[in-house]
Chains A and B, each alone.
Chain A
Amino acid sequence: MARRSRSERLWLRYLILFTWAAFCLVPMLWFLSIGLRPRTEVITAEPIYWPTWSLDAWHMIWRDWPMRAYLINSLMAIAGSVVICVGLAIPAAYSLARYEYRGRDDIGFYILSTRMMAPAIVAIPIFFLFRNLGLLDTVWALMLVYAAINLSITTWIIRSYMLDIPKELEDAARTDGASDLTILWEIIIPACRPGIITAAVIAAIFAINEFLFTLLIASTPAAYTLSVALANFSGGTDGIIYNAIALVAFIAFLPVFLVVLMIQKHLSRGLTMGAVKG
């Protein structure tokens, strides 16, 4: 068999990667192009690939529509839920990874099993729970719900990282005179930082896309996030404003995209390191 030359292989590799990148990015760019064209060019018989650029939709969502409030709701709910979630997941994961106690594996499985349940099953109880707590229609409720949904997956991700940390490291810290809390804070958490970052990003992505519970809890626009607000967009007297919807969707997508870009190095290392020792 003839060996392909090095440059030929490289060329092929770039072609494949480029095709894949285009496949992933074109829908996003298409959304952006719809968001940045006048309303008259949205619904046409023939697709318009190069529109008359217009900031109509951009002005519309900020002026006629509570975009700012929704954006703030989204960001608060996401950031708050990630902080709560990771804050609870770290000690839980540590306990599952390190301590021997009765029923540890059952507890571990129970935590994971909350993820397997169809969300609709708990929707009604959660609604009543928050109503009784007087938290309906608040961002606080969203934070708690998102954190609860994400807790299982983040705990398991972080736990798998902690399992990879050699036990000797903790033994060394203990003989050096460190307390359990110091060991967690100064040795374990820094050593599994990629895992914590990975878990946080995954929690944020879940949170930004969450729809069902948000719809349930945010019954008025006071606690609408972008994902729910988007669904309610079409209800106005002006009909469906596709270009504005596309723009909002693009804006909702952007933060996650940027975060992932920034921490890409950690993330890819993180996702593999949990599985393969490295």
Chain B
Amino acid sequence: MAAIELQNVVKRYGAFVGVREFSLAIPDEEFLVLLGPSGCGKTTTMRMIAGLEEPTEGRIVIGGEDMTEVDARDRDVAMVFQGYALYPNMTIYDNIRFPLRMRGVPATDHDRLIRRAADMVELGAYLDRKPGALSGGQRQRAALARAIVRQPQAFLMDEPLSNLDAKLRASMRVQIKHLQRELRATTVYVTHDQIEAMTLADRIVVMNQGAVQQVGTPDEIYADPANTFVAGFIGAPPMNLIDGVADGGTFTAPGVTAPCPATLQGKVVLGIRPEDCVVGGGNLTGSVYGVEPTGDMTYLTVNVGTRQVEVKAARDFRAGLDTPLTIGFDPRRTYFFDGATGQRLRHGS
């Protein structure tokens, strides 16, 4: 396995910028997740690492070697594609064997390696089938097996779980994480699902519109978002972002008052996570819009001024629609962002 380094990588399609100024060092054995909404440039970034797309500017270094000009077939990375991309005319056995044949692995080793890879993803019983005769989850695992059958420099996985149902996705997630630890494989994993990102990643790169928003561990991304985009993307439901005005140590917006650092002045955005809000207390005044019990907690949506605020309430919380209520929170749990740029305003700065 190897470290990967992207140095000022840019990808332009004509005037449109697909990826802008991407610089990142991915150490050996790291599980890195690229997270962002649809069209933000995740796939493009990954394809540039794989060598399927040429960067307009910048360098890509894999294992200490400059690979920018090297063709995909000579890069020695294994990729799992969003649509599985299994070879339809070959059996699963031959699918998994394909990279071994192409990379000149001695034929006498093939059978052993193929069975080992298939067993790792619990697909041993399906080796004789064609991809068309497998379920979505099995195809997904076949694609994984084809990637792990050899020892590449790195694994690249492009939304490998997006076509699966919720339950299967959760179990495959655990499997992938386990495999990655077992193989000690440098892995770049693309997703737009923040739960997947939080659970799998050593580090997350949050992207939006081709630009890196923040790089950090899941805890850092959650606890210390760099801007409103990251704050509004992470969490389920994500952080409440309330536009208002700061003046003399107090933040005000329609239906909202909260203490804020005295240094803040003018238009700012207050951020508070639904899990840090409690019913009662005096920061927000509003009325109930919706109550969604889930068993272990109750999602509460409150109309505050002209906007809605999400609250994770106690599991036995119930209230009729339009019931007036107040919401409180610990001021130490609030975040403030610049009203114009969306950048985080650090407390005390």
A: which residues have CB within 8 A of B?
A: 166, 168-169, 171-179, 182, 186-187, 190-191, 193
Contact = CB atoms under 8 A, between A and B. Distances in A.
Nearest to A171: B52
Contacts of A176: 73, 78, 98-99, 102-103, 146
Given A171-B52, A171-B79, A172-B79, A177 B85 contact: no
A137 to B, nearest CB: 43
Given A179-B73, A182-B102, A172 B89 contact: no
Given A169-B87, A171-B52, A178 B73 contact: yes
Contacts of B99: 176-177
B87 A187 contact: yes
B325 interface: no
Interface residues of B, number: 26
A233 to B, nearest CB: 47
A193 B85 CA distance: 18
Nearest to A169: B85
A166 B103 contact: no
B110 interface: no
Contacts of A173: 87, 98, 102
19 contacts: A166-B83, A168-B82, A168-B85, A169-B85, A169-B88, A171-B52, A171-B72, A172-B81, A172-B85, A172-B87, A174-B71, A174-B72, A175-B51, A176-B98, A176-B146, A177-B73, A179-B73, A190-B89, A191-B87
B150 to A, nearest CB: 9
Interface of B: 47, 50-52, 71-79, 81-83, 85, 87-89, 98-99, 102-103, 146, 156
A212 B83 CA distance: 49
Nearest to A176: B99
Nearest to B76: A177
Contacts of A168: 81-83, 85
Interface core residue of A177, A191, A193 (most chain B CB under 10 Å): A177
Pick the 7 closest A-B CB pairs, nearest first. Answer: A177-B102, A172-B85, A190-B89, A176-B99, A168-B85, A174-B72, A175-B79
A174 B73 contact: yes
A176 B87 CA distance: 12
Nearest to A172: B85
A261 to B, nearest CB: 24
Nearest to A175: B79
Contacts of A186: 87, 98
A171 B51 CA distance: 10
A181 B201 CA distance: 38
B52 A174 contact: yes
Contacts of B75: 175
B80 to A, nearest CB: 9
A177 B70 CA distance: 12
A33 B88 CA distance: 47
Given A182-B102, A187-B87, A191-B88, A175 B146 contact: no
